Amino acid sequence: MSTDRVSVHGGWASRWVFILAATGSAVGLGSIWKFPYMVGVYGGGAFVLVFLACIALIGLPVMLAETLIGRRARQSPANALKALALEAGHSAKWSWGAFAGMITALLILSFYSVVGGWSLDYIIDMGRGDFQGVTADQVGAYFSAVTADPWRLTLWHTLFMLLSALVIAKGVVAGLERSLRIMMPLLFVMLLVLLGYSMTTGHFMQGLHFMFDFSLDRLLDGLLPAMGHAFFSLSVGVGSIMVYGAYMPKHSSLAGTVMGVALLDTFVSLVAGMALFPIVFAAGLNPSEGPGLMFISLPFAFGNVAFGQLMGVVFFVLVAIAAWSSAISLLEPMVAYLVERTKIRRGWVTFWLAFSCWFVGLGTVFSFNVWQQAKFFVNEGDAFHLYRWGAAGGLDFFGVIDFFTSRIMLPLGGLCFVVFAGWVMGREAVRDELSLRSPLLFTLALFLMRYVAPVGILVVFAAQLWK
Going by pLDDT thresholds of 50, 70 and 90, the confidence category of residue 444 is very high
**What is the rounded average pLDDT of the residues 416-422?**
96
Give pairs for 134-141: CB < 8 Å, separation 24+: 134/300, 134/303, 134/304, 135/300, 136/285, 136/296, 136/297, 136/300, 139/296, 139/297, 139/299, 139/300, 139/303, 140/296
pLDDT of residue 1: 42
* DSSP symbol at 94: G
Neighbours of 216 (CB within 10 A): 10
The SS3 assignment for 389 reads strand
What is the percent of the chain where pLDDT is above 70?
97
Domain boundaries, the chain: 2-466
pLDDT of residue 7: 79
* DSSP symbol at 53: H
Fold of 2-466: Amino acid/polyamine transporter I (1.20.1740)
Residues for the chain: how many in total? 467
pLDDT of residue 310: 93
Q: Among 328, 453, 410, 449, which Cα is nearest to 20's?
A: 328
The SS3 assignment for 372 reads coil
Q: Is residue 185 pLDDT above 80, yes or no?
A: yes
198-234 tens-digit pLDDT: 999 899 999 888 888 877 777 777 788 888 888 788 8
Kindly write down the DSSP assignment for every residue of 56-84, as one continuous string.
IIIIHHHHHHHHHHHHHH-S-HHHHHHHH
pLDDT of residue 4: 63
* DSSP symbol at 201: S
pLDDT of residue 35: 83
pLDDT of residue 79: 96
pLDDT of residue 3: 54
Tell me phi and psi for residue 383, to 5 degrees.
Answer: -100, 140
pLDDT of residue 128: 93
Going by pLDDT thresholds of 50, 70 and 90, the confidence category of residue 41 is confident
45-97 tens-digit pLDDT: 888 888 888 888 999 999 999 999 999 999 999 999 999 999 999 999 999 99
Average pLDDT of the residues of the chain:
89
pLDDT of residue 321: 92
Q: Is residue 460 pLDDT above 50, yes or no?
A: yes
pLDDT of residue 222: 78
Going by pLDDT thresholds of 50, 70 and 90, the confidence category of residue 107 is very high
Give pairs for 84-92: CB < 8 Å, separation 24+: 84/2, 84/420, 84/424, 84/425, 84/429, 85/420, 85/424, 87/2, 87/429, 88/424, 88/425, 88/426, 88/429, 90/424
Q: Is residue 386 pLDDT above 50, yes or no?
A: yes
pLDDT of residue 135: 85
pLDDT of residue 464: 74
Q: Is residue 292 pLDDT above 60, yes or no?
A: no
Predicted model pTM: 0.93
236-254 tens-digit pLDDT: 899 999 999 999 988 888 9
**What is the rounded average pLDDT of the residues 158-167?**
96
Residue with more model confidence, 211 or 324: 324
